Amino acid sequence: MLKPGSTIGILGGGQLGRMIALAAAPLGLKTHIYCPDRDSPAFQVSDAHTCAAYDDGAALDRFAAGVDVVTYEFENVPLATAERLAARVPVRPGAKALAITQDRLAEKSFVRDLGIGTAPFAAVDDLAGLEAAVATIGLPAVLKTRRFGYDGKGQVTIRPGDDLSAAWAAIGRQPAILEGFIAFQREVSIIAARRADDAFAAYDVTENVHRNHILHRSTVPAAIQAEAAREARGIACRIASALDYVGVMAVELFVTHLQGRDTVIVNEIAPRVHNSGHWTQDGAVTSQFEQHVRAIAGWPLGDARRLGRAEMVNLIGDDVEQWLSLLAEPGAHLHLYGKDEARPGRKMGHVNRLWLDDAAARACAEE
Ligand code: AMP
C-alpha cells in the first residue's frame, strides 16, 4: 500500500495522464510522467517528467527508480517496456491486461472464453483468410487490424458486393479479425475499478454517441433496461477478476434489442481510465481518476454513486473556441487539456453537465 507522499509513475502524457495526475495531487501523491512527446499536456501538471522513448532502457530504469508504482494512460504501451519496469516496480494494471487488450483477437477470444457475448469473429491473416472468414461470418462485417486500432482507425466495413482485396489493402494487409456487423440499438460502456484483493466498484452504465468514429457525447443513466445494466456490471466484474486487474477499466458494449429485451455484448476492453467516464469528475461522488489512483495505491475504493443525470461532450478541434460561453453556462464544468493547437479531430477538452437529482442518487444507493 502506498503512503501519502509516494510517487505514481504514468506512462503517457496525454489528457488521461494529465487528469490522473490532477486527481493524485489532492490525495498527497506525486506524479512522474514518462512520454516521448515534448509538449505532453500531462507534463504541465506533474511533479516530474521524463521525455524519452519507450524503448530507452536507461531512461526507463531511472524512471523506475524514482517512482513507487507505475500505471499507464494508453493500452499500446510496448510489452517490453511494461515488463522491464515490472521487474523493478509494481506495474498496475499488470502485463496480462496489456497483452490481452493490445490484440483484438486475443481480447475477443478471452471474452468469449469467459462465456460473455461478442460479435461473431474470425482471424484473418491474408486475402484467402479474409475470403474464408466472409464465407463463415457473412456480410456486412467489419475488418479490424489486430493491433493499434483506436478511434475507428485500422478498420473498414465490408458490405455485400464490396471488393475484398480493396478492404484487405485498406487496413494495410496486416493481421486482422473479421467481425460480424452488429445492428446495435445503442453503444454503452461501463467504467469499473478493481483492487488486488478483488474489491470492485462500478459506475452506472453510460450511453455513448460517436461522430466520425470519435466519442462525441456520453450520457448517464443510459437508456437501457435494468436487467441489461446489471448484466453489464456483471460482465465488467468477471473481466476484471479474470485479468487480475488493478485500477480503473472500461468495457465498451453494444446493446441490441430483440423481442422486447435489451442484450449487451462486448465490443472492446480499455485497460485504463476512459473518455466515456469523464462525467464522473463532476457527476459522481468519486471521479474515475481518483478511483484509479486509489486502486493502484491499494487504498479503499471510493464511492461510485452518481449525483444526478450527467452528460459529457468532447470539445474536438475548433469546438474548444466555445470555452467562454461554456464557462458562463450554469451547471457546466469546463475541462481543458492545455493543448496549443486545435487540429481537426484532436481532443482539446470536454464539458460536463450535471442535473442534480436526489432521487437518482438514492435509487443508485439502494440497488
Ligand atoms: P472499435 O475500434 O472496435 O471500438 O470500433 C469503433 C466503432 O465502430 C464502434 O464504436 C462502433 O460504432 C463501430 N463498430 C465496431 N465494431 C462493430 C461491429 N462489429 N458492428 C457494428 N459496428 C461496429
Atom of ligand 1 nearest to the CA of 149: 2
pLDDT at 358: 61
Determine which residue's CA is closest to atom 5 belonging to ligand 1.
Answer: 152
pLDDT at 275: 98
* pLDDT, average across residues 332-359: 93
Residue 166 backbone dihedrals phi, psi, to 5 degrees: -70, -40
**Amino acid (1-letter code) at residue 232:** A
Q: How far apart are alpha carbons 102 and 17 in whole angstroms?
A: 19
User: Inter-axis angle of helices 57-65 and 79-86, to 10 degrees?
Assistant: 40
Residue 346 DSSP symbol: -
**Contact (Cβ atoms closer than 8 angstroms) between residue 205 and residue 189:** yes
pLDDT at 153: 73
Atom of ligand 1 nearest to the CA of 181: 20
C-alpha cell read off for 296:
493502484
> In a mutational test of the pocket of ligand 1, which residue from 142, 178, 251 has the highest number of ligand atoms less than 8 Å from its CB?
142
pLDDT band, residue 266 (cuts 50/70/90) = very high
> Of all helices (H) and strands (E), which one includes residue 49?
strand 48-50
**Among 155, 268, 248, which residue's Cα sits nearest to residue 201?**
248
pLDDT at 148: 82
Among 128-132, 144-148, 231-235, 305-309, the least confident range: 144-148
Average pLDDT of the chain? 95
> What is residue 31's three-state secondary structure?
strand
Question: Which residues lie closer than 8 Å to 187 by C-beta, 6 or more apart?
Answer: 207, 208, 209, 210, 252, 253, 254, 255, 267
Ligand 1 centre distance from Cα of residue 183 (Å): 10
In the predicted model, is pLDDT for residue 360 greater than 60?
no
Q: How far apart are alpha carbons 303 and 99 in whole angstroms?
A: 30
Q: What is the pLDDT of residues 211-254, one digit of tens each?
A: 998 999 999 999 999 999 999 999 999 999 999 999 999 999 99
Q: What is the pLDDT of residues 23-73, one digit of tens each?
A: 999 999 999 999 999 999 999 999 999 999 999 999 999 999 999 999 999
Q: List all residues whose CB is within 6 A of at least one atom of ligand 1.
A: 119, 142, 149, 152, 155, 179, 181-182, 187, 210, 213, 252, 267-268
What domains are there in the chain, each with its CATH number? 7-91 (3.40.50.20), 120-180 (3.30.1490.20), 186-366 (3.30.470.20)
Helix, strand, coil percent values for the chain (each to nearest 5): 35, 30, 35
Q: How far apart are alpha carbons 272 and 287 in whole angstroms?
A: 13
Furthest CA-CA distance within the chain: 61
**Among 107, 141, 144, which residue's Cα sits nearest to residue 269?**
107
pLDDT at 183: 96
Determine which residue's CA is closest to atom 18 belonging to ligand 1.
Answer: 181
Q: What is the pLDDT of residues 88-141, one digit of tens each?
A: 999 999 989 999 999 999 999 999 999 999 999 999 999 999 999 999 999 999
Atom of ligand 1 nearest to the CA of 119: 19
Q: How far apart are alpha carbons 120 and 178 in whole angstroms?
A: 8
Cis bond before residue 300 (omega within 30° of 0)? no
User: Inter-axis angle of helices 15-24 and 288-297, to 10 degrees?
Assistant: 70
Ligand 1 centre distance from Cα of residue 151 (Å): 9
Atom of ligand 1 nearest to the CA of 153: 2
> In a mutational test of the pocket of ligand 1, which residue from 255, 267, 272 has the highest number of ligand atoms less than 8 Å from its CB?
267
Q: What is the pLDDT of residues 178-219, one digit of tens each?
A: 999 999 999 999 999 999 999 999 999 999 999 998 999 999
The pTM (predicted TM-score) of the whole model is: 0.95
Question: Which residues lie closer than 8 Å to 163 by C-beta, 6 or more apart?
Answer: none
Ligand 1 centre distance from Cα of residue 157 (Å): 9
**Among 182, 191, 114, 186, which residue's Cα sits nearest to residue 144?**
182
In the predicted model, is pLDDT for residue 361 greater than 90?
no
The string of DSSP letters for 119-184 reads: --EEEE-SHHHHHHHHHHH-SSEEEEESSS--TTTTEEEE-TT--HHHHHHHTTS-SEEEEEPP--
* pLDDT, average across residues 311-337: 97
